[in-house]
Amino acid sequence: MSFANEIIKRNHVSILGSGEKTLVLANGFGCDQNMWRFMLPALTPHYKVVLFDYVGSGKSDLSCYDQTRYSSLEGYAQDILDICEALDLQDVTFVGHSVSSMTGLIASIQKPTAFSKLIMICPTPCFLNFKPDYIGGFEKSDLEELIDLMDKNYIGWANYLAPLVIGANNSETLVAELSGSFCSTEPVVAKTFAKATFFSDYRHLLKDAKHPVLIFQSSQDALASTDIGDYMLQQLPDAELKLIEAEGHCLHMTHPDIINQELKNHID
């Protein structure tokens, strides 16, 4: 099997649409490419859209999972770079949700020619508080308790986290779907990704961004406050911030029409 075919199989890569410009969509923690389905009808008539699952999530090849590699976001960024190489992608617009905003940033710094711009949906470079200079939203002890809950009551952990992520006043169906997605992930994989997500600090990389960045910030997000959006806007060399009046951390699922319109305006 060729390298390209291996990667396509490994990361369950899907290619939709046939526009001149290419979008690579990368899901957040505990999710898979199916979470982008609400945006696809408006995107595929105009762009080539590349979807994938990180190794360990969705319909990826779990036999390729390496806990050491995926214990840091660099491992997930390498998945993105492998896909770009396998498909011979250049100048793509990378759209990352949540933690994938940072994996996309890492990948784009490592191989700038593969990317043209980055679009970040509800991003944060660090979830931890480093008072008084930076408030990521969580004390380390709080996040450690959350990780411990994964060991003690995995379903309870999923049912606790899902409404926080989606937003308590948004669709109960989406909350249930996200909880189910968390539960369908192998616990070892989920815990390793959770640690890489919640305990990482990539603030130092923001200044090294090589491409224009568009940030979509939710006005009410339990995981990434508006202060974080403002912080990133100040630290990134070339950035624009769109504040969306909405609740939750998954604007691509709860407000896809708004994100699609703003995204198309930005790209075109």
Give the β-pairing of 92-97 and 22-26: parallel
3-state secondary structure of 149: helix
- 41 vs 8, 45, 50, 260, CA distance in Å? 23, 7, 14, 10
Contact 97, 31 (CB under 8 A): yes
Catalytic annotation on 200? no
Which one of 211, 221, 225, 252 is the catalytic residue?
Answer: 221
Which of 12, 97, 211, 249 does the annotation list as catalytic?
249
Q: State yes or no: is 221 an active-site residue.
A: yes
CB 28 within 8 A of CB 101: no
Secondary structure, 3-state, 71-112: HCHHHHHHHHHHHHHHCCCCCEEEEEECHHHHHHHHHHHHCH
Q: Is 211 a catalytic residue?
A: no
Q: Under 8 Å CB-to-CB from 44, ≥6 apart: which residues?
A: 16, 17
Torsion from C-alpha of 83, 85, 89, 92, nearest 10 degrees: 60
Q: What does the block give as tokens for 51?
A: 């979807």
Catalytic residue of the set 57, 98, 108, 181: 98
Residue (of 81, 74, 73, 18) closest to 52 by Cα position: 81
Q: Residues 65, 68, 71, 76: is their CA dihedral positive or negative?
A: negative
> For strand 22-26 and strand 48-51, is the pairing parallel, antiparallel, or unpaired?
parallel
Enumerate the active-site residues. 98, 221, 249
